[in-house]
A and B are shown apart, each in its own frame.
Chain A
Amino acid sequence: MDLLLEGLTGVFQLNVLLILLMGIIAGITIGSLPGLTATMGVALILPVTFGMEPVTGILLLIGVYFGAVYGGSITAILINTPGTPSSAATAIDGYAMSKKGLAHKALTVSTVSSAIGGILSVIVLIFIAPQLATFALKFSAPETFALAVFGISIISSIAGKSMVKGLIAGFIGLLIATIGIDPIGGFPRFTFDNVNLSSGINLIPVMIGLFAASEAFRAMGSIFSTRKLTIVVEKVKLKWIEFKILIGTILRSGAIGTFIGMIPGAGGDIAAFVAYNEAKRFSKNKDGFGKGEMKGVAAPEAANNGVTGGAMIPLLTLGIPGDAVTAVLLGALMVQGIQPGPMLFENNGPIVYTLFVGMLVANLMILIVGLFGIRLFTKILLVPTTVLTPIILVLCVVGAYSLGNNYFDVLVMLISGIAGYFLMRYGFPASPIILGIILGPLMESNFRRALVMSQGSFDIFITRPITVVLLILAVITLFSPLLTRKVKKPTTEGES
């Protein structure tokens, strides 16, 4: 409780609140532009945080992340183009409502649901995360190795269309992670006598390249398909009685989202579709879904914002990023000298609780900014991609450079961006590469440390209960998409 109070005082400072608000606004703007994802937004803004205090910097990114997840719904509702994959489900009934002239009401429902879903998930986070961290404190090398294997096994669920290509991407990431000084023996691997390579490939420029530059290159190719938009948002208010009908759906969907968010690999898109289906199943008016049912907007929006808090749980307590956005956030935390994992709660308790409070405030800000600024944000849609793409590319270069005033990072960013474009184009997902780079060193060092502990015996991995459970979980996670794929074709991609 003391820590929560400390968190309150940490957040309620004018500059922190202002930066958080800026993050939210930037996030909503990015999220509502089709083609700019939450991941891209966080990767683009990340370099800005290098010079900031850890808490302020991370809260800025959290604002962008939360804002972008919410912002994605604006385009989904208005022009039937989800701004981010996680609002694909919102488009179904949201756009149907817009066609009936109820766009303003749909946006209000989305705002309220997003905020409540988000707040609910942060509350769950505040209660569960410390417990999980305390449990994880008992982890020694074999457990941490198994945890890293589990984290990597989610590659199969974020692989997208082709499992083989997803796994290839993952192993490319793992191989990239071995570049630099070997974690146990200190021998330089694959450095080709280049000084810049001896400390390994820096994660941040790779992320900026893969998630922002490659997207910008892709956008260049589709600028000639832009269409003229005329958006009229009439003010049809959401009534209190209508809200009371929705609240059950919102809370249920928020809980679904939080739970799915906790599972690494299952992102906002999946949560939104699951919540949408559940809302439909619970509803008396099943036929109304798809034709402009308010619950069809409330459910996916509460769920995809619920994911945000849920996804923070494995990230902060175990150091395992569940998807691309949390991977970028993990990179941001590490740049600030904050190593997510069980020790985080011991070493940086005040920071963690300040982040928690900040997340609650972020969701409140979404509510306020959303309710009062909707009409303004709809104007963003009029900004043409032709203007945005060059600016994004410049920001990628400056961002990579400002990491350490090092030109080598710019080259890494550029190569990652170009490679990322071709990988994406030919069906190789980008997120597994990042996952591999992040978790590779954790996996390898703990694997070898465990073998030192056991004096070379592999029994250490099958005699310790937590290790065994985690390894079994990893195998199940790795192969589960193969089984579900047989039943139905995947409808969603892993990026968010």
Chain B
Amino acid sequence: MKKPNYISGLIIIIIAGFFYSLTFNFPKLENQLIGAEFMPRVYSVMLIILGSILLIQTFRNKEESDEQENTMKYSIGAMLFVILYVVVIPYIGFYISTFLLVLGLLLFSKVKNKILLITIPVGTSLFIFVFFQILLKVSIPMGTLFS
């Protein structure tokens, strides 16, 4: 956990510093003791302090048990799938992209059962159609390619 702690500590300090610097663009009213900038400054300063504490703690803590790193690539793979999914929905519409996403994820997690590979993607799209589009009347995007 040492390296992630250093990285996350630094990221937090940088983001908090960025937000802190932005507060100087906020207008300052004469008659107000505490304006719009006060709380964001308190929070970002606290984050900078806590981020530094995390860095120091990690530095002083010599040996900390390392967590297993083996499973991350499948999680990141799934994220890439979903990012792609969200990107293509406006173009090819919700139903086709959902079918492809679910099928892709099933194949990605090495599901070999052919019945599952067909029923789950179709079933999911169908469920969204019946439940969200018909019952809850959500206007599901159909995609620019088809409209």
Contacts and interface: CB of A to CB of B under 8 A. Distances in A.
Give the secondary structure class of A's interface: helix
A218 B26 contact: no
Contact of B26 (A51, A187, A414, A451): A187
B102 A391 contact: yes
Contacts of A175: 16, 19, 40, 43-44, 47
Interface string B125-143: 0001001100011111100
Given A410-B86, A421-B75, A426-B4, A389 B105 contact: yes
Contact of A387 (B19, B73, B111): B111
A398 B133 CA distance: 10
A165 interface: yes
Nearest to B48: A171
A187 B35 CA distance: 10
A222 B67 CA distance: 14
Interface stretch (A2-10, A254-262, A303-311, A401-409): A401-409
A386 B98 CA distance: 16
A106 interface: no
B43 A178 contact: yes
Interface in B1-41: 1, 4-5, 8, 12, 16, 19, 22-23, 26-27, 29, 32-36, 38-40
Given A175-B16, A398-B128, A456-B33, A390 B106 contact: yes
Nearest to A400: B86
A405 B124 contact: no
A391 B74 contact: no
Contact of A48 (B72, B121, B136): B136
A282 B42 CA distance: 49
A184 interface: yes
A410 B26 CA distance: 29
A222 B71 contact: yes
A402 B78 contact: no
A132 interface: no
19 contacts: A51-B137, A174-B39, A175-B40, A178-B39, A182-B26, A185-B35, A187-B36, A189-B26, A189-B36, A386-B109, A387-B111, A393-B105, A394-B102, A397-B85, A398-B132, A405-B139, A425-B72, A444-B39, A447-B39
Interface of B: 1, 4-5, 8, 12, 16, 19, 22-23, 26-27, 29, 32-36, 38-40, 43-44, 46-47, 50-51, 53-54, 57, 67, 71-75, 77-79, 82-83, 85-86, 89-90, 94, 98, 101-102, 105-106, 109-111, 116, 120-121, 124, 128, 131-132, 136-141
